[in-house]
């Protein structure tokens, strides 16, 4: 009884909005977060398996929509050179590579080459 | 993409997966799949605290023990893998062709085309993902017996593979035959089958940790060990003087078991020095061996550069060629019969991958291994070990919510900064201001303690304990040259004789710390630190003698910058002191 009173006082005097860990979890659950996991079933060789996964497009949206990364995202491919004649190309981040450039300018071409 | 629908934003998707042990003994496994996008700069993606990677899925870890035949089980495992990953990545297919509208962090709406760019994993999983047979290269059509010849072979033909996959309806025997002809395993619907524009063989990325550190370097150490013998290598290891930034292997390196990547890179720093001057059996010339070892080390370091240019890539190519033209020494010495190692062959693809997707730190599996701690191991420990995945996912969701909330609170409690102007996406920015190579103004700093390590040491002790012979003479010459810097050497000597030192003792410092600013400023203010020690024998309270340590330092005395070693003075660093205190 005394203990219960003590516990009550602790949360009162700290000014907490929850009394139990369960209550805290319900508050946390109301916060915005990253995409929710869902359970899917996959059947292989007559047996059902569980896969826990998130929606991949929602994940991508979360990553590129994160305000923390705003202004730092690379959105277009670039070519960097160390010399005026564009002979010595620099490679570092993904957007400086050839893959991105190829996709950006020649998506139709890529599609027809790989999946015709 | 621009031609068909201008204004598209490409999202290069990187998927990494790796099985990991959850418990040390009971063999409980998890199979997390992580996702990140190439739009986020690599220095953010690399830091787990910035949360640039997201846990996409936990795949089932079953070994399918209910299937009796080993071949059938293997087939079912790869079918299961592709069925699961296919289910997860399925929305990417239509989204990459038609694009989806996505909101960026600054409020801009972009039509995004997410495309699988990189598939980051270790060798067994690369094979699993690309449906390739064990012992083959997941990127090219090299025959298994030619893995070590250092030549380039034609890349795998995705068109041919896809055509073979289309013949699934013709019956299992014909399907198997067609797949065999295309060089892949007969897997039912690989996950990349319907992902348009994705070439899985191209998106398999090099893996510095497993392919070089834990692969080629590990082999190399074993070869060296069997050439020279463990005893001599370990003895040389023990004899190495202690040095800052250099791990001292007091028990030698040959008896280490389960060597980590970090230990391998520590060994790489000393291995060339260890084997220089060792005698080869039959008095052979060691030149070829040294060249082979050195070229592998060169490759290892060059492959990890955070920025490459065409020139440095040429160095990378040369290093590999040098190894291949000198590797025959290992066969001549009888430690190797052939070089059919898939990991050695994989080095062949580094240059093209760096050109295509950027430098190797964009897709190092080391990052994935680090994520396991947060996303798999910590999550598992929060569960009661029963029906763990539902609890792990809930725990993760809650943890992410709390972290996001924390960032939010930090954001609203700090004063507002002016909004960052949005960068206009344009494809015309083909050339950027070129990097000026001369801009590196390297500054070195010296740091010493405020009070000396020993407050007074007399001249005799300096000679006997610190080994600084002729200290008094050198000090007078220094004072003379400090007062009159224009004097010739002869005049200095004369001048020095006239100087009378009004003291017999000097305070002595035992340590000098030096550091250089990072000239390229890539490691974000991290500076390379070096320490010079100079300390006589000390006795601890228990009577244990700690041996003296006098480091050798090269000091650049020439005024000409960039003079290299020619303008340097090698000296054993004896007793830094301050006569003016």
In contact, B150 and B44? CB cutoff 8 Å:
no
* Partner-chain residue, chosen from B84, B196, B362, that has the shortest CB–CB distance to A51: B84
Q: What is the pLDDT of residues B202-253, one digit of tens each?
A: 999 999 989 999 999 999 999 999 999 999 999 999 888 888 778 888 888 9
CB-CB neighbors (< 8 A) of A61 in chain B: 102-103
Quick one: B156 exposed, middle or buried, by C-beta within 10 A (0-12, 13-18, 19+)?
Answer: buried
* Separation between Cα atoms, residue B31 and residue B356, nearest integer Å: 28
Q: What percent of chain A has pLDDT over 90?
A: 43
Restricting to A residues 75-94, those with a Cβ less than 8 Å away from any Cβ of B are 75-84, 86-94
Residues A68, A46 share a domain: yes
The set of residues, in sequence order, having a beta carbon less than 8 Å from that of B241 and lying 6+ positions away, is B549, B551
User: Radius of gyration of chain B from Cα atoms?
Assistant: 30
pLDDT at B150: 86
Residues A83, A57 share a domain: no
The dihedral through the CA atoms of A54, A56, A60, A61 has a sign that is negative
pLDDT at A1: 59
Write out the residue range of the structural domain in which residue A16 sits: 1-31
CA distance B137 to chain A (A): 20
Task: Please name which of B124, B133, B137 lies closest in space to residue B31, comparing C-alpha atoms.
Answer: B124
CB atoms within 10 A of CB B460: 12
Q: What is the DSSP string of chain A?
A: -HHHHHHHHHHHHHT-S-SSHHHHHHHHHHS--SPPPEEEEEEETTEEEEEEE--HHHHHHHHHT-GGGTTT---S--BEESSTTS-SEEE-SGGGSHHHHHHHHHHHHHHHHH--
In contact, A85 and B96? CB cutoff 8 Å:
no
Q: Could you tell me how many CB contacts below 8 A there are between chain A and chain B?
A: 286
Q: What is the DSSP letter of B492?
A: H
C-alpha torsion A26→A27→A31→A35, nearest 10: -20
CA distance B10 to chain A (A): 7
In contact, B32 and B20? CB cutoff 8 Å:
yes
CA B555 to chain centre: 30
pLDDT at B61: 86
* Separation between Cα atoms, residue B551 and residue B574, nearest integer Å: 8
Q: Give the three-class secondary structure for B94.
A: helix
pLDDT at B578: 46
Q: What is the pLDDT of residues A23-60, one digit of tens each?
A: 999 999 999 889 999 999 998 878 889 999 999 999 99
CB atoms within 10 A of CB A65: 19
pLDDT at B343: 92
Q: What is the pTM of this model?
A: 0.84
pLDDT at B489: 84
Q: In degrees rounded to 5, what are phi and psi of residue A41?
A: -110, 135
pLDDT at A2: 65
The set of residues, in sequence order, having a beta carbon less than 8 Å from that of A108 and lying 6+ positions away, is B1, B3, B4
In contact, B356 and A97? CB cutoff 8 Å:
yes
CA distance A2 to chain B (A): 31
Quick one: B45 exposed, middle or buried, by C-beta within 10 A (0-12, 13-18, 19+)?
Answer: buried
Q: What is the pLDDT of residues B440-480, one digit of tens each?
A: 444 567 888 889 888 888 888 888 888 888 888 888 888 88
Number of domains composing chain A:
3
Residues A116, A78 share a domain: yes
CB-CB neighbors (< 8 A) of B57 in chain A: 51-54
* Separation between Cα atoms, residue B422 and residue B413, nearest integer Å: 24
Q: What is the pLDDT of residues B51-92, one digit of tens each?
A: 889 999 999 888 888 888 888 888 889 999 999 999 999 999
Are A75 and B425 within 8 A, CB to CB?
yes
* A27, A49, A93: best to mutate for the B interface, most B CBs within 10 A: A93
CB-CB neighbors (< 8 A) of A28 in chain B: 398, 401-402
In contact, B307 and A90? CB cutoff 8 Å:
yes
Residues A81, A100 share a domain: yes
Question: Both tokens of residue B441?
Answer: 């103004």
Quick one: B206 exposed, middle or buried, by C-beta within 10 A (0-12, 13-18, 19+)?
Answer: buried
CA distance A16 to chain B (A): 16
Phi-psi region of A46 (alpha: psi -120 to 50; beta: other; left: phi over 0): left
Are A114 and B158 within 8 A, CB to CB?
yes
* Residue reference for tokens 């392919």: B211
Residues in chain B predicted with pLDDT less than 50, given as ranges, are 422-442, 563-575, 578-581
Residues A81, A68 share a domain: no
The set of residues, in sequence order, having a beta carbon less than 8 Å from that of B451 and lying 6+ positions away, is none
CA distance B573 to chain A (A): 40
Residues A68, A40 share a domain: yes
Residues A62, A95 share a domain: no
3-state helix, strand, coil in chain B (%, to 5): 45, 15, 40
Question: Both tokens of residue B337?
Answer: 């019969």
Task: Please name which of B123, B184, B14 lies closest in space to residue B346, comparing C-alpha atoms.
Answer: B123
pLDDT at B416: 64
pLDDT at B581: 33
Number of C-alpha atoms within 13 angstroms, CB side, residue A106?
A: 10
Residues A63, A81 share a domain: no
pLDDT at B407: 87
* Residue reference for tokens 């050798």: B552
Are A64 and B397 within 8 A, CB to CB?
no
CB atoms within 10 A of CB B181: 11
Alpha helices in B342-446 (DSSP H): 342-346, 350-357, 365-372, 379-381, 388-413
What value does the mean pLDDT of chain A take? 84
Are A104 and B10 within 8 A, CB to CB?
yes
Pairing of strands B8-17, B109-120: parallel
Query: Which helix (H) or strand (E) segment is B252 a member of?
Result: none
Question: Both tokens of residue A87?
Answer: 């002979």
Greatest extent of chain B over all pairs of C-alpha atoms, in Å: 104
The set of residues, in sequence order, having a beta carbon less than 8 Å from that of A88 and lying 6+ positions away, is A81, A82, B309, B310, B311
């Amino acid at each position: 009884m005394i203990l219960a009173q003590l516990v009550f006082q602790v949360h009162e005097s700290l000014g907490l909005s929850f009394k139990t860990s369960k209550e805290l979890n319900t508050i946390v659950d109301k916060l915005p977060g990253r995409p929710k996991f869902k359970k899917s079933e996959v059947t292989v060789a007559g047996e059902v398996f569980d896969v826990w996964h998130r929606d991949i497009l929602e994940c991508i949206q979360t990553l590129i929509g994160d305000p923390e990364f705003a202004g730092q995202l690379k959105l277009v491919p670039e070519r960097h050179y160390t010399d005026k004649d564009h002979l010595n190309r620099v490679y570092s981040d993904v957007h400086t590579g050839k893959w991105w450039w190829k996709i950006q300018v020649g998506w139709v071409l890529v599609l027809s080459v790989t999946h015709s | 993409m621009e031609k068909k629908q201008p204004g598209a934003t490409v999202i290069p998707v990187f998927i990494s997966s790796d099985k990991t042990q959850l418990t040390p003994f009971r063999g409980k496994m998890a199979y997390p799949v992580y996702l990140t996008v190439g739009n986020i700069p690599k220095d953010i993606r690399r830091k787990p605290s910035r949360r640039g990677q997201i846990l996409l899925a936990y795949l089932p870890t079953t070994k399918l023990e209910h299937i009796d035949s080993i071949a059938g089980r293997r087939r079912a495992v790869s079918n299961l893998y592709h069925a699961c990953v296919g289910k997860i990545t399925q929305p990417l297919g239509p989204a990459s062709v038609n694009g989806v509208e996505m909101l960026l962090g600054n409020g801009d709406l972009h039509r995004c085309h997410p495309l699988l760019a990189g598939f980051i994993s270790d060798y067994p999983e690369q094979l699993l993902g690309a449906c390739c047979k064990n012992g083959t290269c997941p990127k090219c059509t090299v025959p298994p017996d030619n893995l070590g010849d250092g030549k380039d072979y034609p890349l795998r033909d995705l068109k041919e593979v896809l055509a073979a996959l289309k013949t699934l309806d013709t019956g299992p025997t014909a399907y198997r035959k067609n797949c065999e002809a295309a060089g892949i395993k007969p897997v039912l619907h690989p996950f990349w089958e319907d992902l348009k524009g994705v070439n899985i063989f191209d998106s398999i990325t090099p893996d510095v940790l497993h392919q070089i550190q834990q692969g080629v370097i590990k082999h190399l150490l074993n070869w060296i060990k069997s050439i020279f013998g463990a005893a001599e290598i370990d003895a040389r290891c023990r004899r190495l003087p202690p040095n800052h930034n250099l791990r001292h292997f007091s028990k030698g390196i040959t008896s280490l078991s389960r060597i980590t990547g970090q230990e391998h890179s520590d060994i790489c720093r000393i291995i060339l020095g260890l084997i220089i001057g060792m005698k080869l059996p039959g008095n052979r010339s060691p030149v070829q061996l040294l060249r082979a070892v050195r070229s592998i080390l060169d490759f290892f370091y060059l492959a990890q550069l955070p920025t490459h240019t065409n020139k440095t890539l040429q160095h990378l190519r040369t290093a590999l060629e040098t190894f291949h033209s000198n590797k025959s020494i290992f066969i001549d010495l009888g430690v190797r019969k052939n070089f059919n190692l898939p990991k050695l062959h994989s080095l062949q693809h580094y240059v093209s991958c760096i050109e295509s997707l950027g430098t190797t730190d964009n897709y190092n599996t080391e990052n994935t291994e680090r994520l396991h701690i947060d996303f798999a191991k910590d999550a598992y420990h929060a569960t009661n070990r029963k029906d763990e995945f539902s609890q792990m996912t809930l725990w993760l969701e809650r943890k992410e919510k709390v972290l996001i909330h924390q960032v939010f609170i930090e954001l609203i409690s700090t004063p507002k900064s002016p909004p960052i102007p949005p960068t206009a996406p344009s494809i015309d920015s083909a050339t950027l201001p070129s990097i000026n190579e001369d801009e590196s103004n390297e500054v070195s700093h010296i740091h010493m303690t405020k009070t000396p390590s020993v407050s007074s040491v007399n001249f005799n002790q300096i000679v006997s304990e610190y080994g600084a012979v002729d200290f008094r003479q050198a000090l007078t010459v220094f004072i003379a040259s400090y007062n009159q810097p224009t004097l010739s050497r002869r005049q200095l000597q004369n001048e020095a004789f006239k100087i009378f030192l009004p003291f017999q003792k000097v305070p002595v410092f035992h340590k000098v710390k030096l550091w250089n600013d990072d000239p390229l400023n890539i490691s974000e203010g991290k500076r390379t630190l070096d320490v010079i020690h100079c300390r006589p024998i000390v006795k601890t309270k228990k009577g244990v003698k700690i041996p003296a340590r006098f480091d050798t330092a090269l000091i650049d005395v020439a005024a000409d910058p960039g003079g290299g070693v020619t303008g340097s003075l090698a000296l054993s660093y004896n007793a830094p002191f301050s006569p003016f205190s």
